[in-house]
Amino acid sequence: MKNTELTLGPCLFNWSEADWRDFYFKMADESDFDLIYIGEAVCSKRLPFRNNVLPDILERMEAAGKKVIISTLALVTTKPERKVLREQCEQDMWAVEANDLTAMAFLKDRKFVIGPYINIYNEATITSLAKRGAERFVMPPEVPAETIAQLIKAAPEPKYEMQVFGRLPLALSARCYHARLHNLHKDSCRFVCDQDPDGREVKSLTGQPFLAVNGIQTMSYGSQLLLEELPALAAAGVNAFRLSPHTGDMLGVARIFRSVMKDEMDAAEARAKIGELMPSHHFINGYSHGAPGMAQIEDALAL
């Protein structure tokens, strides 16, 4: 796994302006990620708070020699959101991760990343988007590892990235779950999603936690944790492993993944250590094995 990258995806949760800034300052100063994605992918109402501190974060990243990609909104529905998207795509300082196909109209003659919110399920789609400038594909979380391997074999030129840690982004809605939970309208939500900095769990009628909500976003309740699977994924051609930011010791999680990727720590030890660092997380790996996403497949080597 020597040539495989370790990346940090965009923060998907509504952290305070200060917490968001301090988190990325720490990532700039202390992490060794090969690539860091920064931007608001979930809710445009959070953008003003992000934009207040984004220049300082980007300056800190540049000073630290970090490679950065700007992540864009995954659900673009209004003229103001299209305006923001256009500005992000047409700036020439930073590469862009497109999370909505609306971005394609503004990315002509540009190299870019296809994010996990754009449905990529066949090699024809990959080839078509690669011709238009896509040089990296972050695979949707529900695509099994076997299918990803087949896609890479059929279209090997672009780079492929896969989320290996954190709650999985599953769907987006025009309605805000957090606002409705607090008997508020979306337009006057009071940003109540900030009360759940890792998302809010959703239980079934029988009391089983199985999803999480994050503003307008539906996520998995469990956190993806792929460790035993990493060698097989790298051998299949996955070029980068993505960690999704959560509260807790993300630097520690990153160090553990890096140790596994360098063959300095075995997967079992790494899993135990991450469990200690992130005790509130319930780990899953089902999707990568072609099983229900909420499952934990114990025979994880058999991809």
Confidence of residue 3 (pLDDT cuts 50, 70, 90): confident
Q: Give the tokens for residue 227.
A: 């460790």
Position 268 scores a pLDDT of 95
Tell me the per-residue pLDDT of 58-69, one tens digit each, with 9 for 90 and over. Answer: 999 999 999 999
Query: Helices then strands (H, E): number in the chain?
Result: 9, 12
Band (pLDDT 50/70/90 cuts) for residue 290 is very high
217-225/209-214 β-pairing: antiparallel
Span 138-167, average pLDDT: 97
The predicted structure's pLDDT at residue 303:
64
Distance CA 112, CA 48 (A): 24
Confidence of residue 33 (pLDDT cuts 50, 70, 90): very high
Contact (Cβ atoms closer than 8 angstroms) between residue 70 and residue 94: yes
43 burial class (0-12, 13-18, 19+ CB within 10 angstroms)?
Answer: buried
Q: How far apart are CA 146 and CA 155, in angstroms?
A: 14
Contact present, 38 and 10 (Cβ < 8 Å)? yes
Digit-coded pLDDT (tens) for 211-261: 999 999 999 999 999 999 999 999 999 999 999 999 999 999 999 999 999
Average pLDDT score, the chain: 95
